[in-house]
Amino acid sequence: MSCSSCHLPEFSFTDGKAKSLGVDGLLGKRSSMSLLDIAFSYKGLFWDGRAKNMEEQALMPVIDPVELHETWPNVVEKFKKHNDYPVLFRKAFGIKSKDEITEKLATKAIAQFERLIISSGNSKYDRFLRGEVLLDDDELDGFDMFFNNTFNLPDAQCGHCHNAPLFTTNDYFNNGLTAAATLNDFVDKGRGVVTGIALDNGKFRVPTLRNIALTAPYMHNGSILTLEDVVDHYSRGGHPSINKDPLITQVVLTSRQKQQLIKFLHTLTDTAAIRNPAIQNPF
Ligand code: HEC
Ligand code: HEC
């Protein structure tokens, strides 16, 4: 297995599964995340933000028992004995001998690669903003509801948390995904485990919606299968819990309006970003 076993370019660097399977066939507890634009995630990585930056993050899957289940000394030995890597490390970091290969250099290389996984700026939405294409009437109504641009249509509230240009504030919220009677009843306590603050239990980082049409199933636990179901979830106002965000309330949308919102989400598809030749599998 490699990082790309769970982060595939065609799924905008997710794996298309509700929860990821690790090297020993064990099921992880969360859904793989898109790596698009993570270079701009400045408030922590992972659904709960437990990794400070990409270099620190890249250390973790390697030693995670339900992911790659390896040790770093072992991995570094494999690099040293590999046909290609010693030369590549020398070129990248100017080291004199393969004995200078370290986990630190490996994670620097991975993070630098991840900085290439960025939006092309050529999704239909981006071209619309630059005046190069028009959105059709449905997409336009979806856009207006998403960002609450007009009094003529309901405010779907989305843009407050998934705001432009990244379609995330990178903050942590409880979007009503799971019901919980008390703050201790969330199946996955998420952000609360990292901060130690009970009110953060059940909160997760807002993910980008760029390329969202490519990354089903949705949410940290992969529990929502389609964008139709996502929009239904929000329009019902989610499930009850004490710290559910006040923006997650019932929004009355007709079935036409729900479809319009989804059509707008499809304008965020950016195939140029994931087809960038620089980020394809070199092997
Ligand atoms: C077994 C599947 C699997 C493998 C292998 C894997 N990942 Fe992940 N990745 C995940 C899952 C699941 C998450 C979310 C985990 C969480 O939030 O607790 C994730 C999250 C991430 C994130 C956070 C993205 C964000 O927006 O916060 C990054 C970055 C990442 N992985 C990079 C890597 C790298 C680099 C490797 C290889 C060293 C790797 N992954 C290997 C499944 C995997
Ligand atoms: C209060 C902030 C907030 C609002 C408002 C909000 N979201 Fe979210 N959204 C989140 C959070 C937080 C998550 C991650 C929740 C989780 O996985 O537990 C999320 C997840 C999602 C996902 C799944 C992303 C993925 O990668 O799995 C989609 C799709 C989504 N939201 C779309 C929308 C739409 C459409 C609207 C408007 C109808 C909306 N959101 C309104 C905070 C919000």
Hey, how many other C-beta atoms are within 10 angstroms of the C-beta on 187? 11
What is the Cα–Cα distance from 56 to 15, expressed in whole angstroms? 22
Instruction: State in Å, rounded, how far the first CA of the chain is from the last one.
Output: 13
pLDDT tens, 131-189? Answer: 999 999 999 999 999 999 999 999 999 999 999 999 999 999 999 999 999 999 999 99
pLDDT tens, 178-233? Answer: 999 999 999 999 999 999 999 999 999 999 999 999 999 999 999 999 999 999 99
Identical fold, 3-118 and 124-272? yes
CATH topology of domain 3-118: Cytochrome Bc1 Complex; Chain D, domain 2 (1.10.760)
Q: Can you tell me the mean pLDDT for 58-62?
A: 95
Hey, how many other C-beta atoms are within 10 angstroms of the C-beta on 99? 10
For residue 241, give the ligand nearest its CA: 2
Residue 79 confidence class, pLDDT cut points 50, 70, 90: very high
Ligand 1 centroid to Cα of residue 87, in Å, is: 27
Q: State the pLDDT at residue 25.
A: 87
Q: Is 18 in the pocket of ligand 2 (CB under 6 A)?
A: no
What is the Cα–Cα distance from 17 to 258, expressed in whole angstroms? 24
For residue 29, give the ligand nearest its CA: 1
> What percentage of the chain exceeds 70 in pLDDT?
100
Atom of ligand 2 nearest to the CA of 34: 26
Query: Of 200, 201, 247, 209, which is closest to residue 230 (Cα–Cα)?
Result: 209
Residue nearest to atom 6 of ligand 2 (CA): 158
**pTM of the entire predicted model:** 0.96
Query: ∠ CA(114), CA(120), CA(123), 5° rounding?
Result: 130
What is the Cα–Cα distance from 53 to 27, expressed in whole angstroms? 25
Mutate to test the pocket of ligand 1, among 4, 46, 50, 110 (most ligand atoms within 8 A of CB): 46
Atom of ligand 2 nearest to the CA of 177: 18
Residue 74 confidence class, pLDDT cut points 50, 70, 90: very high
Ligand 1 centroid to Cα of residue 58, in Å, is: 8
Mean pLDDT for the chain overall: 97
Domain boundaries, the chain: 3-118, 124-272
pLDDT tens, 100-135? Answer: 999 999 999 999 999 999 999 999 999 999 999 999
For residue 230, give the ligand nearest its CA: 2
Q: State the pLDDT at residue 52.
A: 96
Residue 256 confidence class, pLDDT cut points 50, 70, 90: very high
CATH class of 124-272: mainly alpha
What is the Cα–Cα distance from 86 to 109, expressed in whole angstroms? 13
- pLDDT of 283 > 90? The answer is no
Ligand 2 centroid to Cα of residue 35, in Å, is: 16
Spatial contact of 179 and 148, defined as CB atoms under 8 Å apart: no
Residue nearest to atom 19 of ligand 1 (CA): 32
Mutate to test the pocket of ligand 1, among 1, 2, 3, 116 (most ligand atoms within 8 A of CB): 3
Ligand 1 centroid to Cα of residue 32, in Å, is: 6
Mutate to test the pocket of ligand 1, among 1, 7, 48, 75 (most ligand atoms within 8 A of CB): 7
Residue 23 confidence class, pLDDT cut points 50, 70, 90: confident
Residue 282 confidence class, pLDDT cut points 50, 70, 90: confident
Mutate to test the pocket of ligand 2, among 29, 162, 244, 263 (most ligand atoms within 8 A of CB): 162
Q: State the pLDDT at residue 64.
A: 93
Q: Can you tell me the mean pLDDT for 237-266?
A: 97
Which residues sit with their C-beta closer than 6 Å to ligand 1? Answer: 1, 3, 5-7, 20, 22, 28, 30-33, 35, 38, 41, 45-48, 54, 57-58, 61-62, 67-68, 110
Residue nearest to atom 5 of ligand 1 (CA): 3
